[in-house]
Amino acid sequence: MRKILHSDLNNFYASVECLLNPDIRDFPVVVCGRVEDRHGIVLAKNMIAKKAGIKTGMVLYEARGLCPNLKCVEAHHDIYAKYSKAVKDIYREYTDRVESFGIDEAWIDITNCHKHGGDAYKIADEIRNRVKTEIGLTVSIGISFNKVFAKLGSDLKKPDAITEISVENYKDLVWPLPVEDLLFVGRKTKKKLNSMNVKTIGDLAKFSKQRLMFKFGKVGAMLHEYANGQDSEIVHTKEELDDIKSVGNSLTFYRDITTDQDVKALLILLSESVCKRMLSYGYKYANTVCLVIMTSELSHIIRTKKINATNLAEDFANEAYKLFKKYFKWGMGYVVRGLGVSVCGFVNQKQMCFDDLNEKADKKKNLQDAVENLRNRFGRNIINRAIIYTDKRMKNLNIVADHTENIGRQLKQSENSESAF
């Protein structure tokens, strides 16, 4: 029987800020993009702010309305990355099978770990205490025989807690939970399942697998297996994940993204960063683009597309914009808070197309290289596309430094993601 942990750093961004600044620890604290922005977004909050009703994704002025003594601090992503690495270094002392699920979460396969006689609870408790004493942060840990239930376990009891979901108790612990608590059941899927009178994870487990497949395709079969504890996906090592690595950037904007022009400009900035990093890693071309749309509820709509292999930022941006127009409709009651672009499917050569024959691609690549040379010599803002100047803040965004994320896992899971429309 496998022994898998899922560790979740509690209120990670806010906890790091409180650790670094003890003077704010006893106050409600939120982390946001820019403190001076009335329309800034709450990226994280501490437990005191959470108890006051503040939610991640809330507009900053609304949060201040709930907590007049609210302490607002700007995000420091470089610092969070260092703390995340330090915590995961502790995990890797127990096993090489440590798979990140975002900056603050990770699965840890301790099946072959012999500390404490292989007792999963004692190992988890030791990890929990080490993170607290050596790093100064708290974690909630789920223990189970698969990844999905381990993730559920870490969500059941917070903060600084351990929950074990076993073969013997999962029907008692998991099945009464709302169906949306299951990994990959988003808002739209929940709505469809509820309309089928599937309200709990237990309802889903007992529902006809064939009917689920008829309604949702292979995703329906996957969810049925998850609900029944039949998730067999392995916890990947870092080396295994590197084999499917993508290059991606994402950001939460300082205000709502409300127009096609906003979207085009941000996709250009993101794609330029992605393209620059892709080439710096030694990849010549990519043949897959992934778009991530982050809504006001911080849910993610993820779509991928196979494209003609390219190394032009303009191509990545254009293909990402086509995905946006296909899967997002303005005026449907959803607010866009952030965007992400990722590319993968790296190849050393590309198939010839009409643009190659008439030398357009070469001219565009030469222009792109010339622009990057200027930026390397004189700074990022020495030259920009005209659309970037439609928002005075946009031209000052340092995408590479402040918004770099590996969203390869999102690419891998994109076929299981849902559209909110």
The pLDDT confidence band at residue 300, using thresholds 50, 70 and 90, is confident
Of the given ranges (43-52, 127-136, 223-232, 343-352), which has the lowest mean pLDDT?
343-352
Instruction: Work out the mean pLDDT of the chain and round it to a whole number.
Output: 86
pLDDT at 36: 63
The dotted CATH code for 244-416 is: 3.30.1490.100
Domains 1-165 and 244-416 belong to one CATH topology:
no
Q: Other CB atoms closer than 10 Å to residue 122's CB: what's the count?
A: 12
Of the given ranges (15-19, 64-68, 213-217, 413-417), which has the lowest mean pLDDT?
413-417
272-289: average pLDDT: 88
| Alpha carbon of residue 84 to chain centroid | 14
Here the tokens at position 90 are: 């502790």
pLDDT at 414 over 70: no
The answer to whether residues 83 and 137 touch, using CB atoms and an 8 Å cutoff, is: yes
Distance from C-alpha of 248 to C-alpha of 89, rounded to nearest angstrom: 23
Please say whether the dihedral angle defined by the alpha carbons of residues 384, 385, 390 and 391, taken in this order, is positive or negative.
negative
Helix 313-327 crosses helix 260-280 at what angle (to 10 degrees)?
A: 140
pLDDT at 20: 95
Pairing of strands 162-164, 71-74: unpaired
For residue 79, how many C-alpha atoms fall within 13 Å in the half-sphere facing its CB? 13
Burial of 52 (0-12, 13-18, 19+ CB in 10 A): middle
pLDDT at 1 over 80: yes
- Of residues 389 and 99, more confidence is placed in 99
* Model pLDDT for residues 126-179, shown as the tens digit of each residue: 999 999 999 999 999 999 999 999 999 999 999 999 999 999 999 999 999 999
Percent of the chain whose pLDDT exceeds 90: 57
Computed on alpha carbons and rounded to an integer, the radius of gyration of the chain in Å comes to 22
pLDDT at 264 over 80: yes
pLDDT at 400: 54
401-417: average pLDDT: 41
Is 164 annotated as catalytic?
A: no
Distance from C-alpha of 131 to C-alpha of 325, rounded to nearest angstrom: 44
The pLDDT confidence band at residue 298, using thresholds 50, 70 and 90, is low
Domain boundaries, the chain: 1-165, 175-242, 244-416
Q: Write down the architecture of domain 175-242 according to CATH.
A: Orthogonal Bundle (1.10)
pLDDT at 351: 59
354-376: average pLDDT: 70
Here the tokens at position 148 are: 């999905």
- pTM higher than 0.85 for the full model? no
Per annotation, catalytic residue among 17, 93, 99, 105: 105
81-109: average pLDDT: 95
Report the DSSP beta bridge partners of residue 180.
none
Peptide bond before residue 28 is cis, with ω within 30 degrees of 0: no
Closest CA to 302 of 256, 331, 344, 242: 344
252-281: average pLDDT: 88
For the domain 1-165, what is the CATH superfamily, name and number? Reverse transcriptase/Diguanylate cyclase domain (3.30.70.270)
* Model pLDDT for residues 199-245, shown as the tens digit of each residue: 999 999 999 999 999 998 888 999 999 999 999 899 988 877 665 56
Closest CA to 202 of 164, 233, 172: 172
- Of residues 16 and 347, more confidence is placed in 16
| Alpha carbon of residue 168 to chain centroid | 32
73-85: average pLDDT: 91
